Structure 1
Amino acid sequence: MAGIGAALLAALVAYSVFMRWVVGAPPHWAEELPQLVLVWTALLAGVACTYKRSHLSAGLMPLLVSSPAVRRGITRATDLLLLVMLLLLAKAGWDLAWLTMSQTTTALQLPAGLVYLSVPVCCAGMALAQCDHLLARQPLPQEGDA
């Protein structure tokens, strides 16, 4: 899904640049539509990254914590904290989306809340991924691991 969004964004920007600099008549949505696609694409990609645990990380925990059992405990605590924060962000995004739904965007005349709606939708998706991580059966530490 994120790849489709990135391809769509590239096509929209290329078309806008062509229309502005070659034809001399930029489309009326030249800034607004790519911005909407960018926000939704980035947040949808965040859902996929959360599910796959592929977010950028420094990778310092294995260097600082040698016990696999302690590392798993820290990971579970981090997953729980992330879940709480994502739910709080989803609630705030929901409130903001509904607050701005009655306003319209300048060029496309779409509800302005559509941009902000990406926050609760994608945070809910990330929260579901965090629930999946928390409920996943963790292997027990081996005798030599502790």
Structure 2
Amino acid sequence: MTDSLTSLCRVVAHLCLVVAGAGAALMGLLVSYTVFMRWVIGAPPHWAEELPQLVLVWMTLLAAVACSYRRSHLSAGLMPLIITSVSLQRWINRVMDVVLLGMFLMLAKAGWDLAWLTMSQTTTALQLPAGVVYMAVPVGCTGMALMQLEQLFSREARS
């Protein structure tokens, strides 16, 4: 089971990173187009603020899944400098995995509730369901929870 969970997490993390990278490229294009339209043409698009914000939220939460997979999320790398005992470091990492897993699951549930609560509302410029923006929270947090679950059951920590 651990091998299949590890494989699933690797694929999910890679997919999230690819989509987040595409989102970063799209953000660059959207902002460049908006600046051009505003300052050269004099007519900014009606979605000039809303669409880049939507892309930014999704891009950030999907990239956080890949960061969680690599254990670079919420980490400054200072623990080995402060705590020299390897066994104590492992124990602290396990406790952090459990705490983060619980936190991500709670955030995913709250995000899911908020997304469904706002699905009947629409965004101002794009007229999309407002829940589309909020749906990034349960998707990203579920992905991060999956990564924490895999790390909790893995024998060696990834760097």
TM-score after normalising by structure 1: 0.91
Give the equivalent residue in structure 2 for 1:55: 73
Tell me if 1:87 matches 2:97: no
Tell me if 1:5 matches 2:23: yes
1:107 to 107, 111, 125: 125
**Structure ranking higher in helix proportion:** 2
Describe the SS at the equivalent of 1:137.
coil
Aligned residue runs from structure 1 range 5-84, under 5 A:
5-55=23-73, 57-84=75-102
Q: RMSD value over aligned CA atoms?
A: 1.3
TM-score after normalising by structure 2: 0.84
Give the equivalent residue in structure 1 for 2:9: none
Q: CA-to-partner distance for each residue in 1:29-78, whole Å, 9 max, x for gaps? A: 11110000000001100001001112253322112222111100100110
For residue 20 of structure 2, what is the amino acid of its counterpart? A
Give the equivalent residue in structure 2 for 1:96: 114
C-alpha separation between the residues in 1 aligned to 2:155 and 2:79? 21
Structure 1 position 138, deviation (Å): 3.6
Q: Which runs of 5+ in 2 are unaligned?
A: 1-18
Give the equivalent residue in structure 2 for 1:144: none
**How many corresponding residue pairs?**
139
For residue 27 of structure 1, what is the amino acid of its counterpart? P
Describe the SS at the equivalent of 1:102.
coil
C-alpha separation between the residues in 1 aligned to 2:74 and 2:113? 29
**Segments of 4+ moved more than 4 angstroms:** none
C-alpha separation between the residues in 2 aligned to 1:56 and 1:11? 29
Q: Which runs of 5+ in 1 are unaligned?
A: 140-146
Give the equivalent residue in structure 2 for 1:117: 135
